Structure 1
Amino acid sequence: MAHLKGEVDPAEAGFDAARLARIDRAFGRHVEEGRLPGWLVAVARQEKVLYLSSGGRRDVANDLPVEFDTRWRLFSMTKPVTSVAAMMLYERGVFDLTDPISRWLPEFSNPRVYTHGSALAPVTVPATEPIRLWHLLSHTAGLAYGFAHAHPVDTLYRESGFPGTSHPHWDLAESVSRLAQLPLLHQPGSAWNYSMATDVLGRLIEVASGTSLGQYVTEQVLHPLGMYSTTFGVSGQDEEKLAKLYALTPKGPVPADDSFDRQGRGRPVFESGGAGLVSTAGDYHRFVQFLCRGGELDGARLLAPRTLKMMTSNHLPNRSDIAAFGSPLALSFEGYGFGLGFAVLQDPVAAHLASSVGEFGWGGGAGTDFWVDPAEELTVLFFTNQVPSMGHGRELRRLVYQALV
């Protein structure tokens, strides 16, 4: 397990310790007032942890506190890990970003695109171009998520066995084969829509590498980075450290629906490249430092700096932000473009944030979040256990940057 601990005095790293303490007070107040079950924050600059704090409970009923070795469901913070795994294959010449995915996944050879009609009687047309690798990595493939409840295609996902991110009894191959039979939300490359694209990418990794997604990610990404506590699901004693999931109600946090809480418990049939990993703060800190260092950590180089720079650049046409180019669900993405696995801040003023141009990162469905600010050599991690996510990342950005003096 990668251990997380304070490594440098905040003042030496350019932070005001008294101002940093506002993070404790703000999130401690959220726990006291029933808006969060538990939380953990880690701030590092120039690779050294300068602020580390936690509060609340990972298990409210049993009064178990959040600890530094608590295991958290990453949900969509899995996506950057899978994207890195895919780009390692890109660097090895296995594929080009413009290659049609049907080369590895023939079930996507003739996709059709929704044009109008209801979920009961959808009208579709042939796709005008194939789904390409960069479409999967940038969420512009036309795929969707069943939980979105924003479009007839979302309804078709739910009715076809994809209420959230996976079906409990289908493996990745079966799931992607069934997914390919559903219509696309839009023509490939014509809009941004958050989706199961990274799960399809995970299946492509399996076919291209000749091994399971879990084995490939573990052997090629996680273990080389020293992330030995990051797995697709946990069991045994590790399960005792897993933070339970809670939903917010007027009376405070209550246990989340079983369909959420059982995700991450035991070895899954469906290894979700988009949402399946469980990790610790210490492990994910190592992944984030790998990103901050340009693709290398402790002598293990997984990606070239130029590849990572390409991944963390905005790939949306005409430098559009997510809000203008697509459907950002219920989230606000003004000022943020999207790269290959990461949201990328291109206009802090439009985003109403004090962050730096070039900041990149992503969050997860249980409220987790991370970002890397290359301009300030800054990384921030936030973990919590509440579904759906309440968007505490914006609040944390304000609290972090007001302490950077």
Structure 2
Amino acid sequence: MKLVDAESRGFDPNRLKRIDDFLARRYIDTGRLPNAQILIARDGDPVHFAQFGQLRADGTPIREDALFRIASMTKPVTSIAFMQLVEECEVALDDPVSRVLPELADIGVYAGGGGSVPFAPGQRAGPMRFVDLLTHMSGLTYGFQNRTSVDAAYRDAQLDMPRFDMGSDEYIAALAKIPLEFAPGERWNYSVSTDVLGVAVERLSGMTLGEYFERHIFAPLDMKDTGFDTAIDRADRLGDAWGYVPGGSPRLVDRAEKSRMLKPARFQSGGGGLVGTIADYHRFCTMLLNRGELDGARIVAPKTLDLMTANHLPGNADLTEVSRSAFSEAANAGTGFGLGFATVIDPARTLIPASRGEFYWGGVYSTAFFVDPVERITMVFMTQLYPSSTYPIRRQLKTLIYSALTQSNA
């Protein structure tokens, strides 16, 4: 990968090198992570790239064009796709979701039951709007939250990431049978909301989600290696996926040679189904940094991206005040939520270096990205360890990156 001179872009090269030393010493050499790639850029130009470890358990080394399961880093892509349709006035943020997905018109709020007992008839709430899906204030959930009877029903229906078990219409029909956790707009809960949003993109556009992404996002941005079924044609570049084992070595949870990612996805999950490279996601982040444009390709308008990265939580609250989520890809203190991104609203409360207006997200296999529009810095981090809550590596990397910054725009 071609890098620009880090010092000319306001970074101390020796301090950037500390990132490599830290990753190798703390995570790779100890076996905590099987592999890692990190790409740091300023003004869209890469200033630091490093990679470590092995792509697969058989010792295949990591490669620059390795394919990673980016999981919930799919969500910002789906959110951008939906906002393109908003820009075309095909849909509005305050439209009821039932306008496009009528199956969800009569879904009620949980009132009891579940498991071996049928759900009690739920009280009808106000209409779920598309803005509620984008902000995860829809009342939907994830089965892996593991708190309530509603979560259990999601697990039974296999709604968290149904790559093969059902199509989009079947997915929405199954979801409509399960009550909401709470009335839309009332609280924040990390959920399948973006999967529902992806189905809405399909119905509004008349394309599969993968076709829409390719035509309107990936091809214009020259993201050649990202897609729902990309790994099928590039199987030798797909890495294994590992799961955390307390007190032991990570275990294989998805072997690349036999991976489910090598079969066409019947359900193209807008919430977590993409596979891609670090270089491709860097191009996506650079488009975000440039307020919707890259190399002459306008993906969304600047004002649209401003709206997406503003805090949409009621009363400008942070997630500590409105979240009921047992797990998400965001830290809570000082962090708000926009239309598809977590956004920093109070850097001091995060207790790590940050800029107001910085936005980010991650994936359950411990991948992560952030975009800092003040310092003009982006980072993409790739690895394949489930779950992403295992280690505090994201905050550690941010601390190391900002400690290497010698010329600030703030």
Give the structure-1-normalised TM-score.
0.95
2:230 paired residue number: 234
Q: SS of the residue aligned with 1:65?
A: coil
1:139 paired to 2:136: yes
2:357 paired residue number: 358
- Partners in 2 of 1:118 and 1:133 — Cα distance? 27
1:280 paired to 2:281: no
Name which of 211, 215, 227 aligns with 1:215: 211
1:339 paired residue number: 338
Superimposed CA distance per residue, residues 31-50 of structure 1 (whole angstroms, 9 cap, x where no aligned partner)? 11111100000000011100
Q: SS of the residue aligned with 2:291?
A: coil
Question: 2:326 is matched by which residue type in structure 1?
Answer: L
1:70 paired to 2:69: no
The answer to whether the 8 A contact 2:232-2:261 is kept is: no
**Counterparts in 2 of 1:240 and 1:87: CA distance versus 1, 3 Å:** same
1:47 paired residue number: 44
1:401 paired residue number: 402
1:109 paired residue number: 105
- Partners in 2 of 1:196 and 1:210 — Cα distance? 21
Let me know the Cα RMSD of the aligned residues.
1.6
The answer to whether the 8 A contact 1:342-1:360 is kept is: yes
- Partners in 2 of 1:262 and 1:176 — Cα distance? 26
Name which of 77, 87, 100 aligns with 1:91: 87
**Counterparts in 2 of 1:290 and 1:146: CA distance versus 1, 3 Å:** same
Alpha-carbon shift at residue 66 of structure 1 (Å): 1.6
The share of aligned pairs that are identical, in percent, is: 39
Alpha-carbon shift at residue 143 of structure 1 (Å): 0.6
Q: SS of the residue aligned with 1:12?
A: helix
2:302 paired residue number: 305
Question: 2:284 is matched by which residue type in structure 1?
Answer: F
Question: 1:379 is matched by which residue type in structure 2?
Answer: T
The answer to whether the 8 A contact 2:111-2:123 is kept is: no
The answer to whether the 8 A contact 1:233-1:276 is kept is: no
2:249 paired residue number: 252
Alpha-carbon shift at residue 333 of structure 1 (Å): 1.5
Question: 1:277 is matched by which residue type in structure 2?
Answer: L
Q: Which residues of structure 1 form unaligned runs of 5+?
A: none
The answer to whether the 8 A contact 1:348-1:355 is kept is: yes
Name which of 181, 196, 206 aligns with 2:177: 181
Alpha-carbon shift at residue 265 of structure 1 (Å): 2.4
Question: 1:400 is matched by which residue type in structure 2?
Answer: I
Q: SS of the residue aligned with 1:264?
A: helix
The answer to whether the 8 A contact 2:68-2:239 is kept is: yes
- Partners in 1 of 2:261 and 2:318 — Cα distance? 32
The answer to whether the 8 A contact 1:8-1:49 is kept is: yes
Moved more, 204-213 or 76-85: 204-213
Question: 1:161 is matched by which residue type in structure 2?
Answer: Q
User: How many residues in Structure 1 have an aligned counterpart in Structure 2?
Assistant: 398
Q: Which residues of structure 2 form unaligned runs of 5+?
A: none
Superimposed CA distance per residue, residues 167-206 of structure 1 (whole angstroms, 9 cap, x where no aligned partner)? 6220122112211221001100101111111110011111
- Partners in 2 of 1:168 and 1:241 — Cα distance? 22
Alpha-carbon shift at residue 330 of structure 1 (Å): 3.8
- Partners in 2 of 1:264 and 1:343 — Cα distance? 27
- Partners in 2 of 1:105 and 1:328 — Cα distance? 25
Greater fraction of residues in strand: 1
The answer to whether the 8 A contact 1:88-1:303 is kept is: yes
- Partners in 2 of 1:52 and 1:190 — Cα distance? 42
2:268 paired residue number: 271
**Counterparts in 2 of 1:186 and 1:329: CA distance versus 1, 3 Å:** same
Alpha-carbon shift at residue 210 of structure 1 (Å): 1.2
Moved more, 87-96 or 228-237: 228-237
- Partners in 2 of 1:167 and 1:90 — Cα distance? 27
**Counterparts in 2 of 1:236 and 1:140: CA distance versus 1, 3 Å:** closer
The answer to whether the 8 A contact 2:136-2:188 is kept is: yes
- Partners in 1 of 2:235 and 2:315 — Cα distance? 46
